[in-house]
Structure 1
């Protein structure tokens, strides 16, 4: 008698086939992903190590360059005739000659000091007369204890840093160490700026718990900077975990200190007789790799569970509820936002139905807010573009003020300081994206006055009165100054005399044209056309500074019909025309300004 097989006996069910199918597809991809992840992790670790080592090498090379320049300057000025005469012939000088030579030596010491940000002061010790000349106070009495410390450094390697009483020096004696007489010779000493060195070293400590230090070859001193840590304690812990050779130059290493792992790198300078050591907690730079690895395994387990669950769902009869859901989606595609009626389904499809209905309701809300989102996006881009503007003329403003003060032109100093103060007040008083046109024009007036002081009679600027009905028009902040600055810099700045800039306003119903033109050499037809093309170009890869920046800001605020237009001026140079729009009522404008 033939046996009837039980249900499911002797056959591979659909559920099993679905699981097998997904495993066959996923396994090769999973294996490939695992290999790529491992290779990527090794590559990232290598790149981080190379980057750290390169930074250490770059900093040490830069520091050696600075020290070599100091040594070279000491080597040159140690034989200065004024310094030698003060050192050996001061008693036979009259008061005038002695004063002039002290001033001359002091000026040269200031030159050495200003040659590097790492120099705190420069001093020449004249022990014969218990006298010292400094880069700060010109003359001072010789401090015996300090001079004896400087004498103790004579004979060290040229460029080596000498530590005394928390201060760091690079010294040179005349004559050299073999003929040096502490009572008759003299010493030229450069004192290093510890705050500057610490600030520079702190640039490596941009991770929490990281630090860097410049160590003496003999362990007598160190200068360090860290991020919220005690560098001395950290170095001691690292030496305990990695041995006393932690400061020996070599490849990047991992060292355990306490319960933490650190990446360390070091480089030794024969010139400074010192070693630069940098240490960074491993989890700060490699922590994300460990996190990614954990997430990878979690994702693997979740993937297996999803495969099993999804296979089970597919095994069940889902054609009817799925068809209903598909029809609802097609209605949404045709812009008919219709809800699915509640069928009382408490399972997965009931959840999908409820989520679908929630999505439809959300879409209805989003349709009403899409224009607000567009305005916000434009506002964000406007703020980004505005933040790029940095006034170019400010680099020279303080030098002008210095020159006026040196000439004792007090009236010009007062007037120039007032204009400069108004200028700074405008650009720093708030973060508003929009201002009234009247305020922008007043800011340009202050800018023009500053440039008038700078260029004296070489350049004349004419600023026409602003039409009163456009005074309250909302405009992008700092849009007009770049146009005037462009006229100065590229138009008339190079003219020896006769330079002219004109700023005028042309009304046209609800539109105002602000025109800036100059009598500079102008531009060739090709250059002018190329600049016009740049103004009309779009995309994130377009340079957004200067005229292009202003043009995009105006277009964002007023629309594509506004912005800048370039042409040749009747004065002979470039003519830049900015088109602005006036709102229907001044009340609406004031409301916009208050909202800022």
Structure 2
């Protein structure tokens, strides 16, 4: 019994026992059959309604085409329109007679087009509208329609499409209109959208279904509340149907007019379509639902037996990825395999944590040693130059200059010996650089000058020691000669925030020397910038290496030649750090 208990408690046995109780292929077959039946019913309903929409749209297009033919014929053959192109003041009698004849013709001809509410003619030079009235008897209704027509004509710009019908939202209702422009006269027809919508009510789309007209931008002309309340997207497929709806799904089918910028759209609720399924299909649906419920029961069992233990392991791993090395798996009643995994996982994470701490401390010690080594590399390099300067001054026996030089060197080496820290204030760095430049100015009297400029607000920020002085020293080494005067400018400024939103400090070191050669720029812009075989640019490599160790990728150093003036420029950018 003791040997059998671990097996019965194992994950393999539990999975096998649960899976044998599920008839997955049968459930899948029932679900596929149910989905196929629903799709067939949808297609049948959609095709039936699309046929009706297409039939009615063709009837509307034929009526509109007949009106189009009449309007084109009127604009081409009616000579009285020429008089309306002229101003009334030129010959008022002729103008009035032409207007009356046109009105009589329109009033007589509209009886042959019962689908149209009104024909109208608008004289733009005289701002006068001639139209028939068949849509209302009240003066208010006639004035409303008149103002709508005039407003619609005023918005017909040069790029207006005069070849088709357009939907227009008037003060009360939507209307369909067509304009033809001949000279400065507009000839058109006007129909209330309600007249086009009336036959749509004969289509049986269910109690909550609807048929509607929509503009070319798919704005509903009627049943706007139904569309808005249910969140229905009126975009439809030309060949089939689309499903849309926020709370309830609707089949959306449509037909676009060939004569105008509007569409007929049918909305059929999917719930009423499914009610038309046969009883056998309903039984199949019930079986599918029962199978789905059974599958949910299986998933619940798998969740308790398999997914929850896996989830606890995944959560612990995510915590470890976030740096929380104290994450551990709690002891809980679970399968034998998971209990062993949890125990092993906790022990392994503890060992890894200790190992990671040891490796991290070793890495920090290595970086500290490397930084100190880099800073100490600078001292011997300048020490040799300093001895050479004192020697040269001694040869000319200028004791006052030797005293000043010695004082400057003492201050210089005092700063070097106390600069074992990783950062110093910008004030101290600039003071040290100015002391070094003064030494060089004494060394090259009359041919060397310098200037340091920094806002007082930046003097307390922290920068790596010897960064500015190293670049200045490299500039003097390669740019200063006794043949031509040279000037070095050091400028410090606060610039806009970087990509992380933090401000940066820019240090510009310019000289008026010959500039960098192409070969020097190529080597300096190299990713590592290793010094040459003879040790040239070792100071610059030192600076680049220290910036990478201290700031990773948040600091940068760039080398280029000025285009407008002669000389080289070194630009260093550092994140702001207060002292």
The answer, yes or no, to whether TM exceeds 0.5 is: no
For the aligned pair, the TM-score class normalised by the smaller chain equals 0.3 to 0.5
TM-score of the pair, normalised by structure 1: 0.36
TM-score with structure 2 setting the length: 0.37
Instruction: From the CA coordinates, give the structure whose radius of gyration is larger.
Output: 2
- Report 1 or 2 for greater relative contact order, CA contacts < 8 Å, sequence distance ≥ 6: 2
